[in-house]
A and B are shown apart, each in its own frame.
Chain A
Amino acid sequence: MNSPILNSKDISRAVSRISHEILERNHGAGNIALVGIRTRGVVLSQRLKEKIKEIENVTVDHGVLDITLYRDDLADGIHKPQLKKTEISFALEGKNIILCDDVLFTGRTIRAAIDALMDFGRPSSVQLAVLIDRGHRELPIRPDYVGKNIPTAKSKRVHVLLAEEDGEDKVIIQESSN
């Protein structure tokens, strides 16, 4: 078993820092909303929401995005993930949306997420928060908030495990199974 790149404490520190950065950049929590990309992006966004509440004592709007319907590789019939609900119950207009995901890789998921967001309205800005940026972008997308940059070979797989989904917090790197 590989030793983790980030352990539970590291992850907690990163969430804390990102929260502060978000608040700093947006001049407080007044106009922001968090949107998590299923599945682990949702966990990250919830943690950020809690942290922001802790710091500013403000509960920010929170939404969940399933980007499956916006994927660019659906029609090949190979990927057929179980579709889950998208839940965005607040108006996007005028908001600074913080899109949250666990790992930023090719950028295709973020592209899909931005498209999905736009179908719900016209936010004043969209910012991107990720726990891990592992490089290998295929689209012109960059994160605004990063937990940790981890340069990896393309063949490797970065696994983010979060307690809410996986029972424990850690980030590991594995050889790709195929």
Chain B
Amino acid sequence: MPLSTKNILGIKELTKQDIQQILDTADSLKEISTRDIKKVPTLRGKTIINLFFEPSTRTRTSFEIAGKRMSADVINISGSTSSTVKGENLIDTARNLEAMSPDILVVRHNCSGAPELLAQYVGCPIINAGDGSHEHPSQALLDLLTIRDHKGYLEGLTVAIVGDISHSRVARSNIRAMQTMGMKVRVVGPPPLIPFGLESLGVEVSHNLSEAIKDVDVVMVLRIQLERQKQGLLSSLREYSNYFCLTSETLAQARDDILIIHPGPVNRGVEIALDVMESPRSLILNQVTNGVAIRMALFYLLLGENNANPN
């Protein structure tokens, strides 16, 4: 059964069935990474281009490993966003890439919506590997897979997402994904980092961490960026930490079986305490493993969708 969409631009475009299928497929693919020979021939002769306009080691490597485990040729291209010539970069890059006939294009870009723009010019399927503050679908999918691995199900679970919601594509993708799967989402953070109108999307908003995580099944901690201080959105990391760092003390109020996830990279001691990070309730490393499986699943499910009309 093919997905309902040719590109993975965001969770927004995916149906519940799509998500279910991606998770199930990833689940089946996990086994490959445990073999001695961690490779299947599925994407032999296929070319995957990782086009990253923003520095990223973890996500890019994860996509790269996923592609290679499926025998694809994976090419990494770092795009420059520094050029001041408007319009030249993205479209020209897209046209150049088209000439290389990639089978799947993985894009990371600092501007929200850039993958959607690319999709208008590129015939092959595009996977959004994070665009601005918009979406990071593969991250949300791996988060769901991690939660499902440990809970056995998703529907009815309550999740608290803590941190800078305004600038977080991980939060946006997760809110959509979790809501699609019938989960309840609560966001926690200082008001300047909570975007306008979130409540109308059915999301609960809280500014009190220990209150907010009392009854949740999962707490997702987001990385806090130092530059928010310069933008006047934070008074200081120290004060942020006082109110929003996930520590053993705050966790003492939560349920015993609470799961802790973090999209990384982690600022230890700022948004999450070291001992919490390394506690058995923390699934941060499971997330990394599942990341490869999710990306393999996306490659598998998008394979052969190349013939569709780009427009």
**Contacts from A to B (Cβ < 8 Å):** 66, 69-70, 74-78, 80, 82-87, 115-116, 119-121
Contact = CB atoms under 8 A, between A and B. Distances in A.
Given A70-B41, A75-B303, 19 more contacts: A69-B32, A69-B42, A69-B70, A69-B300, A70-B40, A74-B303, A76-B304, A77-B2, A77-B306, A77-B307, A80-B2, A83-B29, A85-B27, A85-B31, A86-B31, A116-B40, A119-B35, A119-B39, A120-B37
A84 B30 CA distance: 11
A83 B21 CA distance: 9
Nearest to B300: A83
Interface string B1-37: 1100000000000000000010011011101100111
A66 to B, nearest CB: 7
Nearest to B44: A75
A82 B1 contact: yes
B41 A80 contact: no
24 contacts: A69-B42, A69-B70, A70-B40, A70-B41, A70-B42, A74-B303, A77-B303, A77-B306, A77-B307, A78-B304, A80-B2, A80-B304, A82-B1, A82-B21, A83-B25, A83-B28, A83-B297, A83-B300, A85-B27, A85-B28, A116-B40, A119-B37, A120-B35, A121-B36
Nearest to B39: A119
Given A70-B41, A82-B21, A82-B25, A77 B36 contact: no
Contacts of A83: 24-25, 28-29, 297, 300
B28 A119 contact: no
Contacts of B36: 120-121
B305 interface: yes
Given A69-B40, A70-B40, A119-B39, A80 B1 contact: yes
B304 A74 contact: yes
B285 interface: no
B301 interface: yes
B304 A77 contact: yes
A67 to B, nearest CB: 10
A169 B35 CA distance: 35
B35 A87 contact: no
Contact of B42 (A74, A77, A82, A87): A74
B60 interface: no
Contact of B301 (A70, A80, A85, A120): A80
A149 B85 CA distance: 70
A70 B32 CA distance: 13
Contacts of B40: 69-70, 116, 119
B86 to A, nearest CB: 37
Contacts of B304: 74-78, 80
B43 to A, nearest CB: 8
Nearest 4 CB-CB pairings of A with B: A77-B304, A69-B40, A69-B42, A83-B28
B167 interface: no
Interface in B29-81: 29, 31-32, 35-37, 39-42, 46, 70
Interface centre among A69, A76, A116 (most CB of B within 10 A): A69
B135 to A, nearest CB: 24
Nearest to A119: B37
Nearest to A76: B304
Contacts of A76: 304
A122 to B, nearest CB: 11
